[in-house]
Amino acid sequence: MKQKVLVTRDVFDEVIAYLLNHFDVIANPEDDAWDQETIAGKLADCDGVMTSLTDRVDAELLAHAPRLKVVSNIAVGYNNIDIAACTARGVMVTNTPGVLTESTADFAWALLLATARRITEAEAWLRRGEWTRWQLKQFLGVDVHGANLGILGMGRIGQAIAKRARGFNMTIRYHNRGRLPPDTEQAIGAAYDERDALLEWADFLILSVPYSRETHHLIGREELWKMKSSAILVNIARGGVVDDAALVEALETRRILAAGLDVYENEPMLHPGLVRVSNVVLSPHIGSSTRSTRLAMAMMAARNLVAALTSGSPENLVNPESVER
C-alpha cells in the first residue's frame, strides 16, 4: 500500500506526475485556499504534506495528523511552520533554498528601477489619458548609476543583488548578522557597515533578510527616520520585516522619497495607506515568479518529500533533530 501525501495548493502537472510515481496524492488543482480545519481533515491519514508559505503548520494542526512524517515547504523561508512543534513530534521540515536566488535578485532590481524612475505612477497617468504633451520636468526620477546601495541581509540573494549593482557602478555596503569573508566581499564589491550607519548612508536600501522574531519590524519608524529624505526602500524579504504603518507615515510625509514592495504584513491584505500613496511601487509577492524558478522550487519540494518518506534523509532538512526523535 502506497503512502499518502497532501499537496495543499495547485502545482505544476509535472510535479504531481512525479509524486504519483511514489505515493497516493491528494491534490488541489482548483487552487482553493483551504482553511486550517480543512487541511487538518485532509491530513488525518497522510504521511507527508507539501505546503505553501501561506499554510500555517502548528501544534494544533499536527495533533490532527498522527501519521505525518514530513512537511515539505515550497519556499526558502519557513516562518509559517512551528519548527519546535514539528521537531517535538518527529516531523521533518524541508525548504527550497538556492533555486530562487537569481530570479529574486532580478526582481529586486525590477522594483528598484521601477521605483527610482516612477514607472508605475507614470504608466497609470498615461493609461488615464492624461498625457497630452511633453514636459521637461515630467515624472522626474532619480539616477541609479553611481548611487549608494545598502543591502540589509547578505545571504545568497543579497550577494546576487550586489553583483548586479556593479554594472550600475554603484558603491555597495551591507549589514549582516555576521561579516562575510574578505574574499567574498571583494568578489561582490561590497563593504561591511554597522546597521545605523548603513541607514544614514544609503541612497537605495534593499531588504533581504529572513523573517523571524528578531527581524520583526527590523525597519520601523526609528530606522526610517534615520534614512535620507531622498532614499528609496525596497523590500523583497518578508512582510513583517517592515512596520507598514510606519512606512506609510514616512511615505506620506516624504520622510523618505519612495518604496518598492513585494511583501507586506498580513498579506494578501494591505495597509490601506499603501494603496493611497503615489510614491510606492507594489507587487503581489512575485519575486521568484518565473515559470522555470517556480517549477524548480516545486520539484525540489517534491524531491524533498520523496527522500524524506523513502530514505528518511532529505537534502534540505531544516530540523535534523526530528530524525533522532
Q: How many CA atoms lie less than 13 Å away from 283 in the CB half-sphere?
A: 24
| Identified catalytic residue from 22, 164, 221, 285 | 285
Residue with cell string 488615464: 128
Q: Which residues does residue 282 pair with via DSSP β-bridges, in sequence order? A: 261
285 an active-site residue?
yes
Helix (H, G, I), strand (E, B) or coil at 108: helix
Is it true that the peptide bond before 268 is cis, omega within 30 degrees of 0? yes
Residues 6+ positions from 53 with CB-CB distance below 8 Å: 73, 74, 75, 77, 80
Q: How far is CA 17 from the centre of its chain?
A: 27
Residues 6+ positions from 267 with CB-CB distance below 8 Å: 239, 284, 285
| Identified catalytic residue from 118, 175, 238, 294 | 238
Query: What H or E segment, with its residue span, contains residue 318?
Result: none
Q: Which three cell numbers stand for residue 89?
A: 513530534
| Identified catalytic residue from 200, 249, 267, 321 | 267
The answer to whether the beta carbons of residues 155 and 145 sit under 8 Å apart is: no
238 an active-site residue?
yes
Helix (H, G, I), strand (E, B) or coil at 142: coil
Alpha-carbon gap, residue 20 to 259, rounded angstroms: 44
β 4-7/48-51 pair status? parallel
Show which residues are catalytic. 238, 267, 285
